[in-house]
């Protein structure tokens, strides 16, 4: 059973009661991420996420870590392009203690200079890890090409030179601007009674004051001209990330896009996996994926390939894009994709963290609960012509592409991505 309460100051509370559960997963979601930053603050959202665990007047950073461990469940946090989340899962009897701990570090973190300096080095090591992980770096380079100078083109961690200059005042200004009541959503899934959950939260969060400024208004991204670039680096493989502009997460065509992604490269029976890995042995890792926001999104393809097989792989990808654009998928293939999507939906429902995330994201993006029946009905209504028309519209634009590895621009036969006329 789904419940929603909005405090007078704008804080939203959503919960899903699952009677048979013995645990509860709680998340504090803040509607702020890397896309709310500019060049001189890029990395602020992620830095703040780290700092909230680094001490309050009543708890040191080690005490916060110890208390989270003593609760016996799990806890974590993450920052994305458009949201920051702090979450934990505990036995239902420990919910009051978890809420008390969350309220303390969320509202009372000290942002002590010595902790900021210590955490700066941790984050810089995290940035170095991404730079040493070609699969992750390739995605960041691709997004930089796709979104250009729009904040969506920035990285979540921020660049070294900006993080190295991040100071206490900049972090506090970020919190003041964006950690405001109307941007906060509490979500809980499991053996939780909604009114009891609201009562626990109200003591600390119902009295939060609205601020006149709620941060900068988000700038909608614009579609840029096709971009293709090689980033030469001495690696064993060439890591290719390509994609095209998709649609917002709330688009009425989202179910068509979901199925198109599954058909293209979303599982082991998908066309890219079968053609590139199983039939030709060109790559170990190849898949397609979706990334969507409230006002935009994209569909991407990634593969890691021996440089000698790069151009053949590009040709195969383009051929599969053309097939989906010009020929309707057969009924059994579409039926299999629908079954896969439905099964994934209900398997995820057995995971409390996934259920908590689902109701929180529904609130952030839709402002309401999107139940399982609505999703199943949306998937069921998609037909083969829907998929073909959508593929033609998306893939006909061409694919912005980033290639990272031991190759140069002259090694890549870009014309292989041009596609069939009319696609």
**Active-site residue list:** 49
Considering only CA atoms, which of 12, 293, 40 is closest in space to residue 154?
Answer: 40
Residues 190, 23: contact at Cβ < 8 Å? yes
**Tokens 């995820």 -> residue:** 348
CA angle (253 as vertex; 417, 15 as ends), nearest 5: 125
Q: Which residues pair with 3 in a beta bridge?
A: 15
Helix 331-348 / helix 254-261 crossing angle, nearest 10 deg: 100
Pairwise CA distance, residues 225 & 151, whole Å: 17
CA angle (287 as vertex; 284, 292 as ends), nearest 5: 150
| Contacts for 9 with CB less than 8 Å, ≥ 6 apart | 181, 182, 206, 207, 208, 209, 210
Burial string for 280-295 (b: 16+ CB within 10 Å, else e) reads: eebbeebbbbbbbbbb
Helix 194-205 / helix 95-108 crossing angle, nearest 10 deg: 30
| Contacts for 411 with CB less than 8 Å, ≥ 6 apart | 230, 307, 310
| Contacts for 339 with CB less than 8 Å, ≥ 6 apart | none
Rounded alpha-carbon distances, angstroms, from residue 77 to 47, 73, 83, 88, 89:
12, 14, 11, 9, 12
Residues 54, 61: contact at Cβ < 8 Å? yes
């Amino acid at each position: 059973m789904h419940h929603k309460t909005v405090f007078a100051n704008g804080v939203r509370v959503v919960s899903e009661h699952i009677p048979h559960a013995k645990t509860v997963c709680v998340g504090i979601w803040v509607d702020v991420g890397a896309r709310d930053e500019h060049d001189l603050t890029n990395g602020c959202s992620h830095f703040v996420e780290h700092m909230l665990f680094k001490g309050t007047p009543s708890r040191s950073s080690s005490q916060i870590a110890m208390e989270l461990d003593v609760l016996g469940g799990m806890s974590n946090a993450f920052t994305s392009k458009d949201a920051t989340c702090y979450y934990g899962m505990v036995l239902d009897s420990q919910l009051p203690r978890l809420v008390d701990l969350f309220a303390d570090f969320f509202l009372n973190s000290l942002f002590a200079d010595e902790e900021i300096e210590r955490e700066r080095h941790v984050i810089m090591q995290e940035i170095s890890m991404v730079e040493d992980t070609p699969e992750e770096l390739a995605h960041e380079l691709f997004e930089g090409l796709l979104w250009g100078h729009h904040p969506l083109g920035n990285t979540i961690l921020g660049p070294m030179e900006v993080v190295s200059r991040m100071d206490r005042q900049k972090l506090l200004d970020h919190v003041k601007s964006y950690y405001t009541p109307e941007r906060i959503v509490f979500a809980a899934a499991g053996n939780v009674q909604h009114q009891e959950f609201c009562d626990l939260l109200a003591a600390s969060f119902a009295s939060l004051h609205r601020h006149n400024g709620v941060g900068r208004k988000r700038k909608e991204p614009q579609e840029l001209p096709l971009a293709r670039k090689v980033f030469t680096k001495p690696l064993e493989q060439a890591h290719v990330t390509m994609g095209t502009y998709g649609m917002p997460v709330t688009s009425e065509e989202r179910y068509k896009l979901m199925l198109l992604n599954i058909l293209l490269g979303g599982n082991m029976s998908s066309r890219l996996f079968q053609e590139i890995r199983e039939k030709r042995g060109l790559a170990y890792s190849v898949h397609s994926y979706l990334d969507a926001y409230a006002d935009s999104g994209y569909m991407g393809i990634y593969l890691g390939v021996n440089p000698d097989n790069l151009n053949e792989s590009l040709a195969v990808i383009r051929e599969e894009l053309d097939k989906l654009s010009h020929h309707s998928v057969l009924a059994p293939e579409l039926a299999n994709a629908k079954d896969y999507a439905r099964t994934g939906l209900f398997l995820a429902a057995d995971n409390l963290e996934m259920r908590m995330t689902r109701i929180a994201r529904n609130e952030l993006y839709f402002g309401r609960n999107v139940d399982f029946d609505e999703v199943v009905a949306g998937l069921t209504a998609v037909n083969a012509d829907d998929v073909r028309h959508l593929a033609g519209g998306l893939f006909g634009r061409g694919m912005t592409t980033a290639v990272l590895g031991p190759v140069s621009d002259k090694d890549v036969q870009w014309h292989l991505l041009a596609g069939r006329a009319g696609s």
